[in-house]
A = this chain, B = another copy of it.
Amino acid sequence: MSQESHDRFSGVLAPVITPFTEDLSPDAALLGKHCRWLVSQGAGLAIFGTNSEANSLSVKEKRLLLDALCADGVDPGMMMPGTGACSLSDAVELTAHAASLGCRGVLMLPPFYYKGVSDDGLFAFFSEVINRVADARLQVYLYHIPPIAQVPINLELIQRLAAEFPNNIAGIKDSSGDWNNTLQLNQLGIEDFRVFCGSESLLLRNMQNGGAGCISATANVNPSPIVELFERWESADAEKLQLGLDEIRGIFQSYPMIAALKSATARYSGEDSWERVRPPLISLGQSEREKLAAELQEAGFQMPDI
């Protein structure tokens, strides 16, 4: 992740996977270790994202993890924790806590229980959160992920929010998978609005169209090559770098993503506990683990120095 002269993020961030102890409690120490490795590889920390199983954690668990990471020396200036929630009170509590700790940004899901809600209702929700947190440092990256949240954040809503809160609305993560939407986000004309694609498979195109980088599941395991493309997207071999990223992503995408990321991390780090997920997710079975490992080895995949 590049540290620029201003405050907003650009670069590559990982929605950091969350390790669990035997009783399925979050393992703060192991999470801190993974965060430090990601930072050493040049990635920023979108902890509490979809791939972090963040919605399988309570607000209290997330607060404690955030406190533990900061106490452990992980730089909040590298953090963009997910703080959106169905409940206004939960979103306010976690967002305020993240801002108070100096997190450089937060990634905010829309409230995702009620479906078919109006833009007026979503505008009211995000406005209430920003007004109640009332922290001038707050930098909100909206999180558009219609395949999972089923509640979209559309272009008109973004423009309305950015007009009302120009100092707080910092950008968006677009996990729609719809390149046309990502392109339109880059053309909104909002000042210093940072557009991250939700997969490195769109990273080169996003950069070529004014984007800020990507926040991608696979950055948990393959950060350095993704960062390399971010840094060298204008170079002659950028297309080749993109193809290399696509090959590795293709392997992970052929398994349940979160379980596969954890299985690879378990294998390369030697920490078996990484295999655990919280229900309703399930871990890879033994034969899937071995098949994944073989495919990764065949592709020459590495997780250096983990």
Interface residues of A (CB under 8 A from B): 24, 50, 55-61, 86-90, 93, 110-115, 117-118, 120-122, 124-125, 128, 147-151, 278-282
Contacts of A151 in B (CB 8 A): 280
18 A-B pairs in the complex with CB atoms less than 8 angstroms apart: A24-B88, A50-B113, A55-B111, A56-B86, A56-B88, A57-B89, A58-B59, A58-B93, A61-B89, A86-B86, A113-B148, A114-B280, A114-B281, A115-B148, A118-B282, A120-B282, A121-B281, A124-B279
Contacts of A93 in B (CB 8 A): 58
Taken together as a complex, chains A and B put the C-alpha atoms of A112 and B118 apart, in Å, by 20
Taken together as a complex, chains A and B put the C-alpha atoms of A118 and B280 apart, in Å, by 8
Taken together as a complex, chains A and B put the C-alpha atoms of A54 and B212 apart, in Å, by 37
Contacts of A282 in B (CB 8 A): 118, 120-121, 124
Quick one: copies of this chain in the complex?
2
Taken together as a complex, chains A and B put the C-alpha atoms of A110 and B111 apart, in Å, by 17
Taken together as a complex, chains A and B put the C-alpha atoms of A150 and B110 apart, in Å, by 16
Contacts of A114 in B (CB 8 A): 55-56, 148, 280-281
Asked whether, in the complex, the Cβ of A279 is within 8 Å of the Cβ of B89, the reply is no
Taken together as a complex, chains A and B put the C-alpha atoms of A297 and B50 apart, in Å, by 48
Contacts of A58 in B (CB 8 A): 59, 87, 89-90, 93
Task: Decide: A88 near B278, CB < 8 A? Known: A56-B111, A58-B59, A112-B113.
Answer: yes
Name which residue of chain B comes closest to A128, CB basis: B279
Taken together as a complex, chains A and B put the C-alpha atoms of A111 and B269 apart, in Å, by 30
Contacts of A280 in B (CB 8 A): 110-111, 114, 117-118, 121-122, 124-125, 151
Name which residue of chain B comes closest to A110, CB basis: B280
Contacts of A86 in B (CB 8 A): 55-56, 86
The answer, among B87, B111, B115, for a CB contact under 8 Å with A147, is B115
Taken together as a complex, chains A and B put the C-alpha atoms of A114 and B112 apart, in Å, by 11
Contacts of A89 in B (CB 8 A): 57-58, 60-61
Closest CB pairs A-B (n = 4): A121-B280, A55-B113, A124-B279, A125-B279
